[in-house]
Structure 1
């Protein structure tokens, strides 16, 4: 698996990401290789020349109970249907975790409708009151405030994320 900065992606990689992402998320189609916002990095898993696994990585500071935390967010993890159930996604999560461990990252975080993969890979479900910037089709719709029950984190330091206030300081993945 390669972790590439957004600015280094080729047009072919953008096209492959868009195709795989749209196949994986039919209710959230996009004419781009991203849904809401460009991530900072892309994790790409190839089998030969075919993209079989993808996730966006967003590195940012969030505000947890008035304190800044550094978060590496996972966005749109998806695997080609021919390769699902073969450990590709778990291997990608392991590589990203190892990558982040020696970086300045407090938590890896993501949103998930089906948490089974993430719980098997060391993530913890967290119900948290949150605020974030609503974005859709390159337009912001102001700040949303809701209680989230589909938020998952993997602590990488001695911090714990408690059920409390989380300000995303930007858009939600």
Structure 2
């Protein structure tokens, strides 16, 4: 990390309005027509990592802390949400460093796995994540800030995990016990 850069961890409720506006702007650049000026897609994360460069927010990662049920195994996880790096700063290692930092925090707080959903897998696979196949998942469906249903589908194309101990991700049905981040 360069001298003019800072990686900040903040609980969601501690983020000042000025930073929330910068998060919304970054998300809009990275995910056009998805966030509509919000700092979240389905639900607010519990905390975020914010990467500042010379006072400009250039990357962010949200984290959801919860338990999930996998075939009767209750796992403590951190869910990685909306990791993004401004296009001008991509391929600089920021995403990998942020994933490494969230892994460090997860290990410190005795989490079993990191979990995420991603269309593009390359950076995550390089950072030690693996695809779960099959990944039959049950979750609370939220659309436009309204609960609409409970879904059950195979998400093998996007469900990735990183074990944080010697215990592998167990085989079986995955109940997210909440929304899909």
Q: How many residues align?
A: 173
What is the RMSD of the two structures over their aligned residues, measured on CA atoms?
Answer: 1.0
1:69 aligns with 2:104: no
Counterpart check, 1:141 vs 2:148: yes
2:105 to 99, 102, 127: 99
1:162 aligns with 2:170: yes
Q: CA deviation at 1:100?
A: 1.3
- TM-score normalised by length of structure 2: 0.92
* Other-structure match for 1:88: 94
Stretches of 4+ moved more than 4 A in 1? none
1:133 alignment partner, SS class? strand
1:29 CA displacement: 2.8
- TM-score (normalised: structure 1): 0.96
Q: Match for 2:27 among 1, 21, 27?
A: 21
How far apart, in 1, do the equivalents of 2:36 and 2:113 lie? 28
Structure number with the higher strand fraction is 1
Q: Point out where structure 2 has 5 or more consecutive residues left out of the alignment.
A: 1-6
Unaligned runs of 5+ residues in structure 1 are: none
